[in-house]
Structure 1
Amino acid sequence: MNNFNPTNKERRFKAYVSSIGTTQLHLRNPYIIAWWSAAFPGFGHLLLSKYLRGYALFLWEILVNNMANLNHAMVYSFTGNIGMAKEVLDPRWLLLYIPVYLFGIWDSYRTTVDMNKVFMLAERENADFPTYTIGAFEVNYLDKRRPLMAVIWSLFTPGLGQLYIHRVLTAIFTMAFMIVFVYSSQILVAIHYLFLGEIAQATQVIDPQWFMFIPSHVGFAVYDSYVNTVENNKLYESEQRKFLKNHYQQLRVRFPASVNEVK
């Protein structure tokens, strides 16, 4: 069991290892985080490990987007059918959508800037943090993983890359909604018709309103698993470096000189 007990003299910690995942501070590009919030509200906050805020915005996006038929209208606009795009849009829900959408982008950018400042302070303080935890349901510890493997598993099924690096909450969330998107969009049925050569039938059976959620969802799973694998590796190296320095660097060990060195 983890016996780490933070004290008041250590104001900031770079990371925390718990049974459901590793949460850490590291430098992020505010524009990239804001872009992910624009691609899908909530994703920017999930990248920052702001889970409650991210889940709230994510669920809001699914609800209001579906009520406004926004994805359906986007498909029509992509194909040049502006008239149909205007017809399917529900202005009551669309006007509700815009303020929260803009807030998600602004807040993720602002939070990233603030968290970068906190990281710089935590990096300078370099306080101890838990690196190993064991409980009744899970074991989690810092170690090095391969970013490429996280990407490959995320491409197979979004959420598996997060499981690979022990981001349990994000993994469960990502996999659950991937099932919802795939089932509601009927994309697997459309793929079945494509294998049979029935392209027209595949086009008709797919639901564009739900299908448009999938590209952003897959992209987020890949990016999140890759970035967090890289940052977890850096965190492992940083903690290992500090441990070796504190426990072994002060020891002065005299090695016997070889014959060649004596000459």
Structure 2
Amino acid sequence: MKNFTPTNPMKPAKTVRKYKAHVSALGTTQLHLRNPYIIAWWSAAFPGMGHLLLSKYLRGYALYLWEIIVNSMSYLNYGLVYSFTGNIEIAKEILDHRWLIIYIPVYIFAIWDSYRTAVDLNRTFLLAERENADFNSYVIAGLEINYLDKRRPLNAVLWSLLTPGLGQLYIHRVLTAVFAMGFSIIFMYFSKFLVAVQLLFQGEISQATQVLDPQWFLFMPSHYGFAIYDSYVNTVENNKLFESEQRKYLKENYQQYRVKFPESTSMNGV
């Protein structure tokens, strides 16, 4: 069944097949070109991160939680620490192979699926970019107000350096921000990172090293790196999306009213 425009019932309305962005109270979700190898690399660094970069939130959260649970139960991070320090035999003894064998297939799936999804979304973006359909650029709801705007990528990076998740709040990615801030608290608390920092400032270097829990501390570098990278990339892409939407609006509403200058004549009237 075809849809028809209200002004001209005989003219079918344009059917939008693919939108390239959606602005909601919880954030701005958009399609843009991504390097599939970079997405796969983030999934290798921490399963779930590649999917979160693609805005595949449910799949990303599931893999993220799976990584923390299975990694902790298998003592994988302890094994990595002992392996890197040359204590191979201790690493073999401390690993729980019942959990470690479960870890391997899902880890590989996270890398493969994020790469595959990135390739598919790149194709979808090219189709949506050619269609260039209208999408909502402003929303006001009972909980939040969100709109397209230009932000500074450097500000997003600086806030993410202070606390992971603040950069996402700066660009209004609420779901990722709450997720990143929540796990920042968990990682810092159980790893005793802030206690180690305090001891380090007091000059107690050996005691600061001993107080750290490697199992939880090794989650933090990937978590920090992801928060910084995600906030920077999405700030840049949000700025591009704002310019694209503004350009389209000006062309459709003002370009047809361009001023037409009369033809020039010579001074002698010829």
TM-score bracket, shorter-length normalisation: over 0.9
Q: Does structure 1 residue 203 correspond to structure 2 residue 209?
A: yes
Q: Does structure 1 residue 175 correspond to structure 2 residue 181?
A: yes
Residue in structure 2 matching 1:187, options 193, 206, 217: 193
Partners in 1 of 2:171 and 2:83 — Cα distance?
Answer: 39
Partners in 1 of 2:215 and 2:108 — Cα distance?
Answer: 21
Paired residue secondary structure (1:16): strand
- Displacement after TM superposition at 1:255 (Å): 6.0
Residue in structure 2 matching 1:150, options 127, 147, 156: 156
Amino acid at match of 2:182: A
Amino acid at match of 1:237: E
Q: Does structure 1 residue 112 correspond to structure 2 residue 98?
A: no
TM-score (norm 2): 0.91
* Counterpart residue number, 1:52: 58
Paired residue secondary structure (2:28): strand
Residue in structure 1 matching 2:137, options 104, 107, 131: 131
Residue in structure 2 matching 1:20, options 23, 26, 33: 26
Q: Does structure 1 residue 83 correspond to structure 2 residue 96?
A: no
Partners in 2 of 1:235 and 1:138 — Cα distance?
Answer: 20
* Counterpart residue number, 2:227: 221
Paired residue secondary structure (2:119): helix
- Displacement after TM superposition at 1:252 (Å): 2.9
Partners in 2 of 1:67 and 1:138 — Cα distance?
Answer: 39
* Counterpart residue number, 2:248: 242
Q: Deviations over 1:179-227 (max 9, x none)?
A: 0000000011111111121112111111000000000000000000000
Paired residue secondary structure (2:254): helix
Give the number of the structure whose alpha-carbon radius of gyration is greater: 2
* Counterpart residue number, 2:4: none
Paired residue secondary structure (2:250): helix
TM-score (norm 1): 0.94
Partners in 1 of 2:126 and 2:18 — Cα distance?
Answer: 10
* Counterpart residue number, 1:37: 43
Partners in 2 of 1:234 and 1:256 — Cα distance?
Answer: 37
Amino acid at match of 1:253: V
Paired residue secondary structure (1:242): helix
Amino acid at match of 2:222: S
* Counterpart residue number, 1:69: 75
Deviation larger for 41-50 or 187-196: 187-196
Amino acid at match of 1:169: L
- Displacement after TM superposition at 1:84 (Å): 1.3
CA RMSD of aligned residues (A): 1.8
Paired residue secondary structure (1:197): coil
**Cα distance, 1:163–1:256 mapped onto 2, change above 3 Å:** farther
Deviation larger for 246-255 or 151-160: 246-255
Partners in 1 of 2:110 and 2:14 — Cα distance?
Answer: 33
Paired residue secondary structure (1:130): coil
Q: Percent identity?
A: 72
Partners in 1 of 2:258 and 2:246 — Cα distance?
Answer: 20
Paired residue secondary structure (2:15): coil
